[in-house]
Structure 1
Amino acid sequence: MYKSLLPLPLALLLGACATTPQPIAGEFTAVTPAQSVASGRTGERVRWGGVIIRVEPRADSTCFEVLGRELDSQSRPRPRDRSEGRFIACRAGFYDPEVFVRGRELTVTGTVTGSERGKVGEYEYTYAHVAADAIHLWPKRPVVVEQRYWGPDPFWGPGWGPYWGHGWWGPPPVVIVKPRPQPQPKP
């Protein structure tokens, strides 16, 4: 009897690892921030994510400037060097800039309300603008340091065998979790 129940918890555990968090779950229009600006789309429900560039608390809301990134199967921004365009997401309430710091990953859901002109350095930039109804701050990613065996393989001789060299032949990576240094609060 117990053998038949074993797959159930395992399936639930694995299923929970690959799901989108409830506040940002749902069906949304598949358009990037750059496509939204180029086509002038408004009123569409979107789920966008990326890396926080700047947080601006206002009198009744907080606005986030975000470097848009492609989302993975959990709706978390992928850690890639490619941008899908910058966007500004505003949501009612106060979100502390010391928690929502530059470089953290964020996913928002909301309605595209148009675009907003601004500057990136001296460059005139048009941001997609979203009235956010949900904001999800992702936990920091662990820092991964790989440990490799750089000597002769004890089983196969020098330079040969499953425990030597690069790729999947080396031992598994050693994961070291170190928090990133946080910027100091401005006086």
Structure 2
Amino acid sequence: MSVRNPFRILVLTAGAALLGACATAPQPLQGAFPTVTPQQAVAAPQAGATVRWGGRIVETQPKQDRTCFQMVGMPLNASGRPDSGSADASQGRFIACRAGFYDPAVFTPGRDVTFVGRIEGTDSVRIGEYDYRLPLVAADIVYLWPEVREVEVVAPRAYPYPYWGRPYWSPWWGW
């Protein structure tokens, strides 16, 4: 028993260290950022503030010299990824633009993206019958998160004890 305990403690410590490493934001997303949300940026102008915002893509619009993303802002988790557990906790919409071409076939609606950039003001957008003012971010970093796919793992059903194979074979049958 004393031989197992140090091994168990070592395994648990290594597992905790690995899990702690998973909660760190990727290198491009690290840093200290103000806690201003897209809704707050429209209510009180925050032009020039550097922010880290993320959410789900609503629309990707390639233009002549840049690509703009219309996003539904969501709270970010510890790693900087939009929190999938709070799908209804929108922080408002925003537009993020970055120089260059980003393929709308890759940056499809519903994908999670995190941006780091500066607030440049607001832009008017028509959504349905409504005109909205959305904060405009000049993005320095565009971080597309890998898609999360749910997989159901089904273990093969084992026969209940004392059967070790087919149900008609058992040491209790006297063979």
- Answer yes or no: same fold by TM over 0.5: yes
- Percent identity (aligned): 49
SS of the residue aligned with 1:20?
A: coil
Q: Which amino acid aligns with 2:89?
A: R
Q: 2:78 and 2:66 mapped to 1: Cα distance?
A: 29
Q: 1:5 and 1:145 mapped to 2: Cα distance?
A: 30
Aligned to 1:120: 127
1:85-137 C-alpha deviation (Å, 9 max, x unpaired) = 10000011111100000000110000000000011111111111000000111
1:14-66 C-alpha deviation (Å, 9 max, x unpaired) = 23210111111111111000100100111001000000000011111111000
Kindly report which structure 2 residues correspond to 1:9-20, keeping only aligned pairs within 5 A, or say none: 10=15, 12-20=17-25
Confirm whether residue 75 of structure 1 aligns to residue 72 of structure 2: no
Confirm whether residue 49 of structure 1 aligns to residue 49 of structure 2: no
Q: What's the offset of the Cα at 1:142? A: 2.2
SS of the residue aligned with 1:108?
A: strand
Aligned to 1:85: 92
> Given that residues 24 and 135 in structure 1 are in contact (C-alpha distance below 8 angstroms), is that contact kept between their aligned partners in structure 2?
no
SS of the residue aligned with 2:106?
A: coil
Q: 1:101 and 1:133 mapped to 2: Cα distance?
A: 20
Larger Rg: 2
TM-score (norm 1): 0.71
* Aligned residues between the structures: 147
> Given that residues 55 and 63 in structure 1 are in contact (C-alpha distance below 8 angstroms), is that contact kept between their aligned partners in structure 2?
yes
Which piece of structure 1 moves more, 73-82 or 61-70?
73-82
Q: Which has the higher helix share?
A: 2
The structure 1 residue matched to 2:41, chosen from 36, 39, 51, is: 36
TM-score (norm 2): 0.76
Q: 1:92 and 1:72 mapped to 2: Cα distance?
A: 27
